[in-house]
Structure formats: structure tokens, C-alpha cells
Structure 1
Amino acid sequence: MPDPIVIVGAGQAGVALAAKLRALGYADRLILIGDETVPPYQRPPLSKKYVSGELDVERLLIRPRDWYAEQNVELRLDQRVTSIAPAAHELTLSDGARLRYGKLALTTGARPRNLPAEIGGALPGVVTIRGLADADAIMPLLKPGMRLVVVGGGYIGLEAAAVTASKGMQVTVIEAAERILQRVAAAETSAFFRDLHQRHGVTIREATGLDRLVDRDGRVAAVTLRDGTSLSADLVIVGIGVLPNDQLARDAGLLVENGITVDAQGRSSDPDIFSAGDCANFPWQGQRTRLESVQNAIEQAEHAAAAMLGGTEHYNPVPWFWSDQYDVKLQIAGLNRGYDQVVTRPGKRPGSQSVWYYRQGALIAVDAMNDALAYAFGKKALESGKSIAPEKATDPAVDLKTAIEYNLALATSRKA
């Protein structure tokens, strides 16, 4: 029998890759290795509906527990790959066992950035939310009246702030940049979410660096800012971004730069090793890109699965993301990298709006806050390779569907 396809990393990308291999007719041995004790589960709901108590573990699972046996996928949990020998097509596991592979997929995901230990980042009561164990450890600590400091005003930090503020905690968000969401969104989107959180009692401290964490009886008790301000803290949640889990690939001699470097088919610098998801850095629109989203994890993994079986199509996604905060659903289509113009459009519902990003007059992304129609039509325009003129996007009297159809009709007439 041929050596199996082995997938290292039992998250969203790993499961999607295994499922796609089976769907495409791969019938030989297939092994999925994960270092946690529970079957693969969704991570985004951990900081939202799981921590809030709306979802239990079973509803987090990506596939039912019996799916792996039904699909003849060998799910090896609580195991860690310690090294890869590409020339020998062999893996070494943490228990010393060795496993041969025919082709290998690395879907190892990412890990949270931590605060430096020298400023108190390792103190008890300073936590991140990436895995199920993190969320389980945090849930008993979330009690009304407790003082919480969230370090980082990105989407992860703001989602944590929303959940905890809704539980009656006293929440302060600290952001070192000039504004929250500065790395990922325009000032207009930042302003929308700043106002949203302040209306729910959250204190937002922007352009404020963290100096150190102060302990009392061996546990975090306060946060000192660089301006000398001291904030009492019963709990500190750190949400300052993630790092790709690419050390295994680096140690194996694969090309690594801000993630595992892959080509447009998901193939690494070794022709029999592929990668997908948060850990993979792929070519997109002329730039090296690493996307951290469920959509990318699934679609890129499915694309890599096809390539493992001989497919040659290039991966060319239209990225999309989402975030739930209080009663607001943020939906993002596209990637606003390099935008030079922003316009806003009021939604039909009170308090809803969308923010449209342009580069040299062409639409590249849209943020839609409680405005599913704006998101849908913006995504449709991006998928079709067309645009919606800024003056039409910002005018609530203009029907977006008509604007997109007009652009498509115009393009067709030009081809004729």
C-alpha cells in the first residue's frame, strides 16, 4: 500500500483538507494529527458564544465525533509532531514513534502573541483566548463587577470586551496605536466600534502604551500605563495578534517567511509538503499574503487537497471575515490593503452603516455593520471583478444591485 497522506494540525484547515480529499475520491490511508485532547472544533466562537455560555463543546465541533470513522480518517489526538525529515518522508512524534508519509499537509495554525514575561506577562490572571482550554479557564472568572483590562483593540480584544461587558464586568481596553482597529480598518469603522463600546460602558484608552503588570500575592492586580496611570485589574485578557506556527517547517528546512511559504497551489518549497490556513503565506494580487480567517482556512485547504491529487488551479480568493460584538454583526468582504479612499453609506436599519474602500478608484473591500445587503452586494462586485463607483456607494438612494448589474452590462457591451 502507498504511504498515507498525513495532515498535521487538527483545526478548521486540517478537517477541511481531509474532507476534500475524500470528496475528490482519495481512498487510501489518511491520518489527521492534533495536539489537543478534544476532536477538532471551531475557534472563533470561543471568545463569543462559548465564553458567554450560548454554545457547548458539542456544538463547537467542526464535524460530529463519528464522522472521522465514517470517512476512514485516522484522528490521532493528544499527539505532537516534533520533527519532519523531508528526504525520508518521515515524521517523529512526541512519544518517539515514527510515521512515514507519501504527501504531507501542515495546517498548524497560529498562536497568540504574549506579553513579555519581564513586564509581568506570565503572571496568573493574564490570559489569552486561543484554545478551548483557555476559554474553559477564563469562564469561571467572568463575574459581574470584576475589573477587566483588555490589552489590544483589535477584533479579538473588542469581542472579549463585548462579552465581558455584557456580563456586567468593568472593562477597559488599552490600545497602543492611535485608534482601535487601526491595523485592519479605516477610521470610520474604528469610530463606529468605539462609540458602540462606550455606549455599553467600556472605557477605551487609545494611544496608550502598557508599561507593566503589577501583582499582589502572586497574581495580577493592576496595570500600569506608560503615562503613569494605574488601573486595578482582577483579570487581564491579551489580544495583540497571533504568530504563525511555522517552527516545525523551519526546522525541516522549508522556506519560511511570516508563515510557511507556499505557491498558488499550496505547495511548500518541498514538492510533497503542502500548507494551508493561518500558518500559510501564499501569493495573492502580487503580494505575499497570510490570511487569518475561517473562510481562508477552509478554501485554501480544499484548494491544497486538489493540488495534492494533481490539481493545477491557482488559489485566488475573495477574502471575507466577520465579528460579533453586542447586537452588531460586522461582515467584511475583500482586503483593504493599500486603500486610498474611503466612503460611508448609511444602512436601512437605525445605526447600521457600511464603509467602502477604494484603491485608484476601484473597490477593494467593504465593512458592513448590521447591513447584510451592503456586504452581499459589495462581495458580489468583488467576486465579479467589477466595482461600484464611490459616489454610488455613498448615496443611499442608489440601488447597489442595479449599480453592479450596470457595471456587468457595461463590461459585456465593451467585450462585444
Structure 2
Amino acid sequence: MTDDRLSDNIADLPKVLLHDHLDGGLRPQTVIELADAVGHQLPAHDAESLGTWFQQAADSGSLVHYLETFDHTLAVMQTPEALARVAKEAVLDLASDGVVYTEQRWAPEQHLARGLSLEETVEAVQAGIDEGIAEAAAAGLTIKVGQLVTAMRHADRWQEIAELAVAFRDRGVVGFDIAGAEDGFPPDRHAQIWRYLADNDFPVTIHAGEAAGVPSIAQAVHLGQADRIGHGVRIIDDIRFDDASREATFGRTAHWVRDHQIPLEVAPVSNLQTSATSAKTIAEHPITLLKELDFAVTLNTDNRLMSRTSMSHEMRLLVAEAGWTIDDLADVTIAAAWGAFMHHDERRALVEQVIVPGYQKIEGAQL
């Protein structure tokens, strides 16, 4: 199959998205309308210009500056109505892009400025998710959605947020995450919560290996007992290559992550924006090499607004610039499905009943 034909069919492929921030995926027009309602000043006043501003502001090469763009999205997500609207639109946008399973991560503690309780924020987001799923179904699209409740690394509310996540485990929340400034705020900052989550049999993903290196990943998987790693691309720093033979020698952490097939939630476009790797192009991004080395690589968007991206866009870039085939796309999709925070039988059904048939419709898939 030619690259052009594959790119033409990407929109129709079933997709699994594990790492997508709710507050990083708003529609620009929605940001404008919600900002007008609360009197929040934006750097641009039409959807096209605002979308460009977010992308350019995020293209700083610094995770710290990248995170500053969220000041505007968070400012307009402080009421139940706004949270529900953003969640509903996220579900609809992802479903229209062929996403059949997604986990939407967000930090309830960042949405309390107008008097909401933590519990009320989770309920509002779930209401929006439910409405989005219903509207997608009415349009003939099927999507399953779970919430990933996130604690902000610097805010020291980890235990409280972990307990919130567990309390809502049967009401839409499927896992726990820590996010924000990675460097300087490691998992051992509040070591006790990882024992609490393990004791409650609760799934964990941890942002690691984006703004900090191998020691951050090691803490995530050993102390944090992370089931998945958010980004994780700096694991490449624990792999040495012989210049002559190009054979790889793995450090202990790289061995551990690969041996245990801990999924890496890789977001190529975002990683280039934040300089998470030394790569300057999609072709140079380590996602291809990590996949070739048999790491459990998954493909993600991270923040669709800031990166002006989608799952289809990420896939097309990998096909056009890194030489990916339909089998490569199938591999990362199946890896994501098996890494999803749902029960084994549900994962199997997603792979066997949705993903494999969806890819086999496209000529050339060897599944």
C-alpha cells in the first residue's frame, strides 16, 4: 500500500488514545465563548487566530513554558456547565476522528476557583462524557471513555486526589496520574500514596521521562508501581548503541520497562514542542526506534489544542516522515488497547471485535 493511500484511509482506522488532557483539547471557539461568559481576556479573539496562538506559544521548547498556555483553558473551566461542555465536545471530536477508546486525564484541583468541590468537578465531567457518548452513538459512532484523575506534582494534594479517584472508581474514573512540572517533583515526594493505590487495586500512570530522565522513569515504575508511563521517551537515554554494529545495549531501567512491557504513552508532536527528546523532526523521534526495539509503544496526542493535532494527524506524520506502515499503526493501537485501564475481557473484546476487523478492512494489514 502506498503512503498516500494509507494516509487517505487513516481517518477510518479505529484508534485508542490513552494520553489526552481534557484541559488541553478544547475547541478554540469554545475557549472564546466560555471566556466571554466569565470576562477572561484572551490573546486572540477569533478561533483561527487563537488556535495559532496556542500552537505558537506551546512551541517554546520548554515544558515549563508549554504548561503556561493552560492558564487560559483552566480559566474558562471553572463551572459545572463549562466542564460538562468541554468533556462532551472532547468525546465528540475524538469519536469523529475514529477513536473508539480514550482516557481523558485532568486535575480536579485546578477547577475549584468558582466554588466547586472536588466531587462536583468529577460529576460535571462525567455528565459531559455521558452526553458526548450518547450524541456520538446517535451519529453512528461508538466510543468508550474513562476519566484519569490527576494530581498536580507541585500542589501536595496527592493523597486527597488519590482518595477522590478511588471514591469514583465505579462512577467513571479508571485511573490515577500525577502531572505538571516533572523535574524536581518526583514520585517519592509523597511516597505513601503509591501504597494506598496498590492496596486499593487502582491503576496508575505517571508522567515520567519527558522533562526529566531515567531516574524519573525508575521511580515511576518501582516506587509508583506505574502500570503505564506518560511519555517515557527519555528511556532512550538508558540505551547505548554500538556505532559499528548498531546493536543496542540496555541499562537496567530500560530492561525493566521492556521486559515488563510497561506501555509508553508517546506523543510525538508534543514531545517536539517541549524538547522532551533531542529530536527535531518526526523522522528523528525515538518512537520508531523504541517500537523496533520491542517496547510497548502507544501513540497519543497529549494536548490537541496546543499541538493542533489529532490521532489521525499523528499517524499521518509517522507515515509520511518516519516511513510507518499500516502494520506499525496497528501495532501501537493494539498495544494501547491491551494497556487500557479496563478489565482483561474488555481489552480482548476491543482488540478482537473492533481493532483487528477495522484494520483488516484496509488492504495490507498483516494482523
Q: TM class by shorter-chain length?
A: under 0.3
Greater Rg over alpha carbons, structure? 1
Give the structure, 1 or 2, with the largest relative contact order (CA under 8 Å, sep 6 or more): 2
Please give the TM-score of this superposition, normalised by the length of structure 2.
0.27
Query: Would you tell me which structure has more helix in proportion to its own residues?
Result: 2
Please give the TM-score of this superposition, normalised by the length of structure 1.
0.25
